[in-house]
A and B are shown apart, each in its own frame.
Chain A
Amino acid sequence: MRGGAAALLLIAATMASGDERLSGTAFMSPETRAMQADDLANPGMFAVLEGARLWEETAGVSGRSCAGCHGDAAETMKGVAARYPAFDEASNAAVDLTARVNLCRTRHQDADPLPPEDPRLLALTTFIGHQSRGQKIEPDPDPRLQPWRELGARLFRTRMGQLNFSCANCHDDNAGRHLAGNPIPQGHATGYPIYRLEWQSMGSLQRRFRNCLVGVRAEPFAYGSREFIALELFLADRAAGMTIETPAVRP
């Protein structure tokens, strides 16, 4: 109830600024919001710290660390998460931050790519995402990303699964309503990777997509698939101008 009132205040504040978009955080309980807001209580900060450690650690035959090429992440990684997914010349495709980290491992560190949802991969992407906390999402305008933008927009409206729902059915048409007791957020990916209390661990945006798809009894797309990158890009466009919160906390 109190959560509802606080969410309404937040809604009122955003509406006054003429933007009706709300971060998923606005739909959380006051307890979860307080936990996210306090760096000493936010369990996602452990991933940020672990990411900072991995940033300095050498990997692979190259004996190089991320810092060896990129230096101080506070400077060189500021704003990077705000404009991802981006176009990668060498693979001639859209890549998200997770794929970029693995491309750096294989191309520059001579290391194996880390598997999806590996804690090290989540720590590095959380650490990099955190360097953009407080910045506005500003998607990459590269025209070569257009096919991904269009695929993402189309997938968002495509009904899927035995329960026959599209992402838009929930996040555009029914956001703010409740599935059983659970509020449906608008689905803006402003705080990913997130710490999820239910999992007792970090999780990527693609893990969130898989949960939503399995929820409607659909066959989820594979981690790293063109479809998931396209959805990520579409969500970045949809959330352009909203503020990055990584790491967010979710129930």
Chain B
Amino acid sequence: MRRVVAAAAAICAAGGVCAGEGMPPLTSTPGDPERGRAIVIDRETGLCLLCHSGPFPEVTFQGDLAPSLEGVGARLDAAALRLRLVDSRRVNPDTIMPPYHSTDNLNRVGAEWRGKPILSAQQIEDVVAFLATMTEVAQ
């Protein structure tokens, strides 16, 4: 399993095309895209728009540390989206995207957050379900 992920990461790094790599669903309950959207735009829960931008007109201040999420559902399938959310370090070891569902190899995590992932398994599924709907790109 680890080796498969590592190999996929290598292909990714070399060509920038990440087809075929990914992660199966974390729960048996399908994700809810509406809840996922709410998590993505929330500054405390998802934190996504601190770094990313995207078609979220109600969020006035969006980040520019990361690529736009617009059309991300067309670029990546659910398994690939899930892998990046769970632990982006598996795709890019130097990423600044926080590992949303891994507590491995973290340092000095504050007492309030120690041992807990940023998002629960079900929240990850919700966000994946929402991102998968983001297939459109404005002309």
Task: Name A residues whose Cβ lies closer than 8 Å to a Cβ of B.
Answer: 158-165, 169, 173-174, 177-182, 213-214, 217-220
Task: Name B residues whose Cβ lies closer than 8 Å to a Cβ of A.
Answer: 43, 47, 49-51, 60-65, 96, 98-99, 106-113, 116, 118
A169-B96, A174-B96 known; A218+B108 contact, CB < 8 A = yes
Could you tell me if A160 and B65 are in contact, using CB atoms closer than 8 angstroms? no
Please name all residues of chain B whose beta carbon is closer than 8 Å to the beta carbon of A161 when the two chains form the complex: 106-110, 113
Q: Given contacts A159-B107, A165-B98, A218-B110, could you give 5 more A-B pairs where the C-beta distance is less than 8 Å? A: A159-B106, A162-B118, A217-B109, A219-B109, A219-B111
Could you tell me if A181 and B107 are in contact, using CB atoms closer than 8 angstroms? no
Could you tell me if A160 and B108 are in contact, using CB atoms closer than 8 angstroms? yes
Could you tell me if B51 and A181 are in contact, using CB atoms closer than 8 angstroms? no
- CB within 8 Å: A-B pair count: 67
Could you tell me if B49 and A180 are in contact, using CB atoms closer than 8 angstroms? yes
Please name all residues of chain B whose beta carbon is closer than 8 Å to the beta carbon of A169 when the two chains form the complex: 96
Please name all residues of chain A whose beta carbon is closer than 8 Å to the beta carbon of B109 when the two chains form the complex: 161-162, 217-219
Main SS at interface, chain B:
loop
**Contacting A164 at CB < 8 Å: which of B49, B106, B116?**
B106
Could you tell me if A162 and B49 are in contact, using CB atoms closer than 8 angstroms? no
Please name all residues of chain B whose beta carbon is closer than 8 Å to the beta carbon of A158 when the two chains form the complex: 107
A211 to chain B, nearest CB (A): 13
Could you tell me if A177 and B110 are in contact, using CB atoms closer than 8 angstroms? no
**Contacting B63 at CB < 8 Å: which of A180, A214, A218, A219?**
A180
**Contacting A180 at CB < 8 Å: which of B61, B108, B112, B113?**
B61
Could you tell me if A179 and B98 are in contact, using CB atoms closer than 8 angstroms? no
Could you tell me if A164 and B63 are in contact, using CB atoms closer than 8 angstroms? no
Please name all residues of chain A whose beta carbon is closer than 8 Å to the beta carbon of B51 when the two chains form the complex: 179
**Contacting A177 at CB < 8 Å: which of B61, B65, B111?**
B65
Q: How far is the CA of A219 from the CA of B112 in the complex (A)?
A: 9
Q: How far is the CA of A220 from the CA of B99 in the complex (A)?
A: 20
Could you tell me if B61 and A162 are in contact, using CB atoms closer than 8 angstroms? no
Please name all residues of chain A whose beta carbon is closer than 8 Å to the beta carbon of B107 when the two chains form the complex: 158-161, 164, 218
7 closest Cβ pairs, A-B complex: A181-B61, A162-B113, A163-B98, A180-B61, A160-B108, A218-B108, A217-B113
Could you tell me if A178 and B99 are in contact, using CB atoms closer than 8 angstroms? no
Could you tell me if A179 and B108 are in contact, using CB atoms closer than 8 angstroms? no
Candidate in B43, B106, B108, B113 with the most chain A CB atoms within 10 angstroms: B108
A79 to chain B, nearest CB (A): 35
A214-B110, A217-B110, A219-B108 known; A164+B65 contact, CB < 8 A = no
